[in-house]
Amino acid sequence: MTTGRVGIGFIGTGNISSAYLKAITGRDSLPGFPVLDIKGLADLRPEAATARAAEFGLAAMSIEAMLADPEIALIVNLTIPRAHVEVGLRALAAGKHVYSEKPLGITFAEGQKLLAAADAAGLRIGSAPDTFLGGAHQQARAVLDSGALGTIVGGTAFFLCPGHESWHPDPAFYYDIGGGPVLDMGPYYITDLVNLLGPVTQVSAMASRLRSARVVGSEPKRGQRMDVKVDTHVTGALGFANGAIVQVGLSFDVAAHRHLPLEIYGTEASLVVPDPNFFGGAVQLRRIGEKDWNEVPVTHPYADGNYRSLGVADMAAAILENRPHRANGDLALHVLEVMEAFEIAAREGRTIAIQTPVERPAPLSMLF
């Protein structure tokens, strides 16, 4: 049982910060994570930090004050993707561990630079997504680890939607450098696949960008034009060290579809894994000769709500317990290399070998 608390500070108080703060402070019927002691919120726009702090009864402070605060050991970096590495390096230079929202960086070289700086400073890097730690995904992993599927043949992974401009209040960054469906949603799917199957060894892909501009459909920027600077429809395949081959589709251009988010196929059975953007969902198994899918009871914790910040809590507990944390920098760097390989493979028309080693994170039971 973990005892003690780790002082944390948030840099970036945009849309996603609300989910983190609700999980940590125990809102929406969640139990909260007492290992995390929130010391303050900061943002390049001070008024945003002030508003979010007032919403949760927390303190707003400047980024400079946060990085100078000796009671803050861990920075949760929720800035836009293009700022992840810059802010992370600044926090490391101030002697802070860093947990970043996904992706770790917008290029593999950036991610390598961040991990090298952390190693040199003797500090830790963590990164979203942490949804693979959710009870449904840990249950799916337990099924795989039991050998129920036989030899793993492959699988499918699909995130296909019309884009985020219909609902997000400021969606332009999804179509700018550092955006696109691969860097935006790929981390959820690829991280969960590594959790389930182990490391990726090769990537092949094709990609398209059919529109040069899109229009915001949500308030307060409805009608504004956004330039599209990234590929918005990407398909490909991942080859894994265990021999599995997984077909992948990631798109901001699809009006509707009937694909399930994740399926894993074995010689003896197939497994339906729920949406990796969530912690819970139905896990289903169908063996050879069976006519119906059978729901697997989810007995693992963290399946009944939005536990975004579970990875931060595990990282803080790991610091106190002097053990590896699960949503770690090596995992995030591996996933980033895989995502960049989609772009290279599509552009150059060849299969890309993945170089970064990674171990499957340890299975998770109840943290506290």
pLDDT digits (tens, 9 = 90+) for 289-327: 999 999 999 999 999 999 999 999 999 999 999 999 999
pLDDT digits (tens, 9 = 90+) for 118-136: 999 999 999 999 999 999 9
pLDDT of 353 over the 80 cut? yes
Positive or negative, the Cα torsion across 133, 10, 319, 354?
Answer: positive
Closest by Cα among 199, 205, 343 to 190: 199
| Residue 179 token pair | 């955006």
HEC assignment per residue over 230-291 = CCCEEEEEEEECCCCEEEEEEECCCCCCCCCCEEEEECCEEEEECCCCCCCCCEEEEECCCC
pLDDT digits (tens, 9 = 90+) for 84-99: 999 999 999 999 999 9
Dist CA 117 CA 41 (whole Å): 24
Dist CA 102 CA 331 (whole Å): 12
Q: Which residues of 224-238 are buried (b: 16+ CB within 10 A; e: fewer)?
A: eebebebbbbbbbbb
**% residues pLDDT > 90 (the chain):** 95
Whether 246 contacts 124, CB under 8 Å: no
Q: How far is CA 321 from the centre of its chain?
A: 24
**In which band, very low, low, confident or very high, does the pLDDT at 2 lie, cut at 50, 70 and 90?**
low
How far is the CA of 33 from the CAs of 116, 227, 244, in angstroms?
Answer: 29, 40, 36
pLDDT of 115 over the 80 cut? yes
Dist CA 360 CA 226 (whole Å): 39
**In which band, very low, low, confident or very high, does the pLDDT at 358 lie, cut at 50, 70 and 90?**
very high
Q: Provide the residue ranges of all domains of the chain, joining segments of one domain with +.
A: 6-130+308-327, 132-301+332-353
pLDDT of 368 over the 90 cut? no
Q: What is the mean pLDDT of the chain?
A: 96
For tokens 């990537």, name the residue: 203
HEC assignment per residue over 187-208 = HHHHHHHHHHHCCEEEEEEEEE
- Residues with Cβ within 8 Å of 137's Cβ and at least 6 positions away in sequence, in order, are 131, 192, 195, 196, 273, 274, 276, 279
CATH class of the domain at 132-301+332-353: alpha beta
- β-bridge partners, 250: 159, 234
CATH class of the domain at 6-130+308-327: alpha beta
> What pLDDT, on the 0 to 100 scale, is given for residue 366?
81
The H-or-E segment that residue 338 falls in is: helix 329-348
The crossing angle, in degrees rounded to 10, of helices 17-25 and 46-56 is 30
Report the pLDDT averaged over residues 146-158. 98
Q: Edge-to-edge strand order for the sheet containing 269-273?
A: 294-296, 283-287, 269-273, 262-266, 152-160, 245-251, 233-240, 200-208, 352-353
Q: Taking the model in full, what pTM does it have?
A: 0.96
Four-point Cα dihedral 138, 144, 149, 150, nearest 10:
180
Report the pLDDT averaged over residues 183-199. 98
Dist CA 19 CA 353 (whole Å): 36
The H-or-E segment that residue 335 falls in is: helix 329-348
**In which band, very low, low, confident or very high, does the pLDDT at 1 lie, cut at 50, 70 and 90?**
low
Residue 220, preceding peptide bond in cis (omega within 30° of 0): yes
Q: How far apart are the first and last CA of the chain?
A: 6
Whether 336 contacts 183, CB under 8 Å: no
Whether 81 contacts 183, CB under 8 Å: yes
pLDDT digits (tens, 9 = 90+) for 239-248: 999 999 999 9
Within 5-157, where are the H helices?
A: 17-25, 46-56, 63-68, 84-93, 108-121, 135-145
